[in-house]
Amino acid sequence: MDVVIVESPAKAKTINKYLGKDYKVLASYGHVRDLPSKDGSVLPDDDFKMTWEADAKSKKRLTEIASAVKESDRVILATDPDREGEAISWHVLQVLKNKRVLKDKPIQRVVFNAITKKSILDAMENPRDIDAPLVEAYLARRALDYLVGFTLSPVLWRKLPGARSAGRVQSVALRLVCQRETEIEAFLPQEYWSIFADLSTAGSDDVQARVVSVDGIKKNRHDIGSETEAADIKQLIEQANITIQSVEAKPVKRNPFAPFTTSTLQMEASRKLGFAAARTMQIAQKLYEGISLGGETTGLITYMRTDGVQIAPEAIGPIRGAIENEFGKDYVPEKPRYYSSKAKNAQEAHEAIRPTDIFRHPKQMARYLDEEQLKLYTLIWRRTMASQMASAQIERTTVEIVAQHGSRSAGLRATGSVVRFDGFLTLYTETKDDSDDEESKRLPPMSEGEALARKGVTATQHHTEPPPRYTEATLIKKMEELGIGRPSTYTATLSVLRDRDYVELDKKRLIPSGKGRLVTGFLSNFFERYVQYDFTASLEEKLDKISAGELQWKDVLKEFWEDFSQHVDGTKELRVSQVLDTLNEVLAAYAFPQKEEGKDPRVCPSCDNGQLSLKTSRYGAFVGCSNYPECGYTRQLDNGNGEQQENMGDGPKMLGVDPETGLDVSLRTGRFGPYVQLGEEKKPPRSSIPKGWDPQSIDLEKALQLLSLPRPVGMHPEDGKEIKAGLGRYGPFVLHDGTYANLPSVDDIFTVGLNHAVTLLAEKRAKGGGRRTAQVLKELGDHPDGGAISVKDGRYGPYVNHGKINATLPKDTDPQSVTMEQALELIAAKAGKTGTKKKAPAKKTAAKKTTAKKTTAKKTTTKKAATKKADAADDA
C-alpha cells in the first residue's frame, strides 16, 4: 500500500476514489507546523536556526500519518502546486524523519493543477523530488516575517502605546491606504466647465459635439476654468456658422482579456459579483477541491492561487472547439492566443485559473452549485472562453467641426463607434467598460463641408474629484503592480489589517483608522526604508530568485537582518514624547483639522489657551489639552470610520438632576467612549454606556439606573450573603461570594430576580466557576532585588507578579511571549505608580525602585534585537 498525503480532507476523499484500494490518501489539514510565538523561534546569531512546533490537532494528525506510513511501501507527497504546498510537504517529511518511520521507503513528490482523474493519474506517473529552492524561499519568507513582526512590534508597544503589531507586507499595504487618505484630505477641488453643442444634419439627424479648441488654442477637459470663460465660448458658438471640417472613420481591433489570475479573479469578482477577496477564495477553493456531480466529486476549476496567465496547451484545443460549437467558426481566431503577465515579479510556473472541462457549461452546472458558486464558476468560464475568442472589430468615427463667427472660431468634436463584429464582446466585457456605451453610440452619415444646424448649446459646471479610496480589489491591483506580496498572501494581508483595527470597510471602501494612521506615521518616519514600496518589491524579487536557485536564502536573511537590527537598536533611545512630537506634525491635517478661518486648530476649544496634542494610553492615542488636569478636554482620534469625534470639550449634555443628591447628571464622551456622570467633584461617580445602547437615547432615568449599579438583588438563601447585579468589563453579571455568572443582556441587570440569580450562580459553580486562585502561566526567574517573577492569569486577565506588585499585561500580549526584560519594565512602572502607598519605609522603597530601573535599563541595552517579541508576526 502507498500513502498519499494531501492538504484537504475533501481532496483526500476524491483522490482516493481515483487511485483505488492500493492507495491510502490522508490529509494534513493545511500546515502542520509553525514558528511558535515565543522568544528564539528564529535565531539570527545561530545561522538563522528555526524552531518549529505543531499544535495539538496537528500532532494528532501527524501521529495518524506516521502510523500509516510505518505500514506503507511508498510515501507520495501531493500537496498544492505552489510554495506553500511545497513547504507543507517538506514539513510532513521532516516530522516523519524525526519519528523514524520512513526507513528506506521511497519518497516522491507529485503536483497537479486540477483535481480530475486524468490530472491525478498523470501526476502519479511523473513524480519528482521536493523542490529545495522553493522550500528555501518559503523558509526565507517565514523567517523574514517573523523577524520583522517580532522585532518591530515591541518597538511599537513601547513607543506608541495602543498599537498592536507591524508586519513586513501588511505595513506597506497599510501605508498605501493611509497615503490615499492623505491625498483625499489634501485635495483641492478645481472648477471646470464642459460645453456641448446639440446639432443636426441636413437629414435632421442629431449630433452632439464637445468644444475642443477656441481661437486655435486646444482646450482639454479641465482647461475651461470659469463661468465667464464658459459663457464667452457659449455665446461664440450660438452666433457662429457651423460646418464639418473632416470626417475620419478607421477600424480598431479590441483584443480579449487574459484568463484569470488570483488577483484579477478577486478584482472582477468584487466588481461584478460584490464578493470580498476572502469570500472569492473560499468559493474558488471549493470549486477546485470538487463538487459532487452525479455521485462523483470532481474539481471544476484549476488551482486558484496563481499569477500565471497561460493555459495548458492540451486545454486550448477543447476551448477553441467549445467556442466554435457555441458561436460559430467566425469567433475562433486563426491561431491560439498566448498571454504574458504584466504584473511586476510575476511567476508563471502555474496555469491561469480555468474550468477543468470547458464543456461543463454553467447552465449544466446550475443544478449542482449554490448561487455564489454558480456566479463565480460562470465568471471563470466566460473569461476563459473569451480569452481564446476572436477580436472585436470596431469602426471608430471622429468628426471635426468648426464654429466660425467673424475672426473668432471654436473647434468641436463628435465621436462614435460601431461594432462591425462583436467577437469576444458577445460573451465578456470587463467591468471597467460596462458603463462605456461607446460601442453602441453611432453617428449619422456626414461629409466634409456639410453645414450643421444648431439646436442648442449647454455649458455645465463641474469640479474635479479626489482620488477614490481603495477597495479590496483596487488595493490588490496596486499591490500587484508594485510587486508587493504574492497571490496567496493578498487576502491574508487584508484580513490582518482589519483584525488589527488598522482599516475599516465602509461601502466596500478601505478607510484607515486613527490607530492605522499613527502606525503608518511612526513607521514612515522612523523605519522609512522598510515601508518603501521599492524596498518591499526588491525583497520579493530576491525571494523569487531563491525559488529559482539563483540566490542562497541565508545570504538574503543576513543582508536584511544586519541593517534591520541595527536600525531597531537605534530607536531604543527614542522617547515617547519625541515620537508624539513628530506625529503631531506629520498628522497635523488629520489630528487638528481646520475649523474657523484664521483660528489656530491646535488651540483648545474648552479653555481657549491650552494647546492640543496627541497623547497615548494603553487603549490607544487621543487628542488632549496641554492644561490637563485643569482642563479635561479630550477627543478621540476617530470614531471608527475615520472621522473626528468631539468629546467633552464642547460641553457635556445635561440630562437632569438626581432627586436624591441634587447633583447634575450628564452624558459625556471620553477617550474610552460615552459615559454618564453624577456631579462635578474630583472623582465623580461614572458609568460607561453599555455596548448596544445608543448614547443619544440615554435619558435621566436610564442614566440613574446605570449610576446605581451594582444593584442589590437579594440575600442568597444558603449563606445569607448578598447577590448583586452589575455591568463589568465582560458584560452584565450577577455576583455572589466571588462567583460571577453572566446575564443574557444589559436589561437583565435591572430585572433579574433572586430565584433566577441563584439558578445562574448554581449553574456557573457546577461548571467549575467561582472564586479561584490565580493560575501561574509562566515562571520568568528571580528579580534582581530578590523574589520570583511570574506571569499569572487572574480574574481580569493575565498579569506579571513580583511579591505584592501585580502589573497588568498590555492588551493583546501573549502571556507566553513575555520576557524578563518586559516584566521588569512593567513591575518598575507599577512600583512607580504605587510606591507612595507602600508600607515599607520611604528610603527602602526609593532604593528598590532605583535598582529596578537601572537593571531594566541595562538589560534593555544589552538584550539582542533577535529576542524581541510581538503578539503577532502575522504578515501576508
User: Between 225 and 840, whose confidence is greater?
Assistant: 225
- Least confident segment among 147-161, 471-485, 733-747: 147-161
Residues 6+ apart with CB under 8 A from 306: 82, 261, 262, 350, 351, 352, 353, 487
Give me the active site residues, please. Answer: 303
Q: What pLDDT shows up at residue 439? A: 44
**Residues 770 and 738 sit within 8 Å (Cβ to Cβ):** yes
CATH number for the segment(s) 262-390: 1.10.290.10
**Residues 639 and 629 sit within 8 Å (Cβ to Cβ):** no
Beta bridge partners, 471, equal: 509
Residues 6+ apart with CB under 8 A from 151: 564, 565, 568, 865, 866, 868, 870
Residues of the chain with CATH 2.70.20.10: 191-253+393-421+439-463
d(CA 124, CA 809): 53
**Residues 383 and 325 sit within 8 Å (Cβ to Cβ):** no
**Average of per-residue pLDDT across 229-249:** 95
d(CA 39, CA 23): 42
Q: Are strands 74-77 and 2-6 parallel, antiparallel or unpaired?
A: parallel
Closest CA to 114 of 303, 380, 384: 303
Q: What pLDDT shows up at residue 683? A: 77
Residues of the chain with CATH 1.10.290.10: 262-390
**Residues 684 and 668 sit within 8 Å (Cβ to Cβ):** no
Give residue-wise pLDDT tens across range 93-145: 999 999 999 988 999 999 998 888 889 999 999 999 999 999 999 999 999 98
User: Between 651 and 405, whose confidence is greater?
Assistant: 405
Give residue-wise pLDDT tens across range 551-606: 999 999 999 999 999 888 888 788 888 888 899 898 888 888 877 677 888 888 88
CATH number for the segment(s) 2-130: 3.40.50.140
**Residues 771 and 839 sit within 8 Å (Cβ to Cβ):** no
Say which CATH topology domain 153-187+468-564 has.
Answer: Topoisomerase I; domain 2 (1.10.460)
| The residue type at 39 | D
Give residue-wise pLDDT tens across range 369-418: 999 999 999 999 999 999 999 999 999 999 999 999 999 999 999 999 88
C-alpha cell at 151: 522585532
- Could you list the beta-strand ranges (E) of 240-299: 241-254, 291-293, 296-298
Q: How far apart are the first and last CA of the chain?
A: 39
Q: How confident is residue 466, by pLDDT bands cut at 50, 70 and 90? A: very high
SS3 labels along 433-499 = HCCCCHHHCCCCCCCCCCECEEEEEEEEEEECCCCCCCEHHHHHHHHHHHCCCCHHHHHHHHHHHHH
**Residues 571 and 526 sit within 8 Å (Cβ to Cβ):** yes
3-state secondary structure of 293: strand
Average pLDDT, the chain: 84
**Residues 78 and 115 sit within 8 Å (Cβ to Cβ):** no
**Residues 741 and 761 sit within 8 Å (Cβ to Cβ):** yes
Beta bridge partners, 200, equal: 206, 453
**Residues 417 and 254 sit within 8 Å (Cβ to Cβ):** no
Closest CA to 674 of 711, 708, 636, 644: 636
What order of strands is seen across the sheet that includes strand 731-736? 711-715, 722-728, 731-736, 739-742
C-alpha cell at 348: 508563471
Length in residues, the chain: 876
C-alpha cell at 94: 521532516
Q: How confident is residue 848, by pLDDT bands cut at 50, 70 and 90? A: very low
Whole-structure pTM value: 0.69
**Residues 176 and 424 sit within 8 Å (Cβ to Cβ):** no
Beta bridge partners, 666, equal: 654, 677
Beta bridge partners, 734, equal: 725, 741
Say which CATH topology domain 191-253+393-421+439-463 has.
Answer: Topoisomerase I; domain 3 (2.70.20)
Q: What pLDDT shows up at residue 859? A: 37
**Average of per-residue pLDDT across 494-508:** 86
**Average of per-residue pLDDT across 248-273:** 92
Residues of the chain with CATH 3.40.50.140: 2-130
**Residues 637 and 518 sit within 8 Å (Cβ to Cβ):** yes
- Could you list the beta-strand ranges (E) of 652-756: 653-657, 664-670, 673-678, 686-688, 711-715, 722-728, 731-736, 739-742
Instruction: Fill in the DSSP letter of residue 529.
Output: G
d(CA 166, CA 145): 10
Four-residue CA torsion sign, 688, 693, 699, 704: negative
Residues 6+ apart with CB under 8 A from 420: 251, 393, 394, 395
What is the b/e burial string over 562-578, where b = at least 16 CB atoms within 10 angstroms of the residue's CB? eebbebbeeeeeeeeee
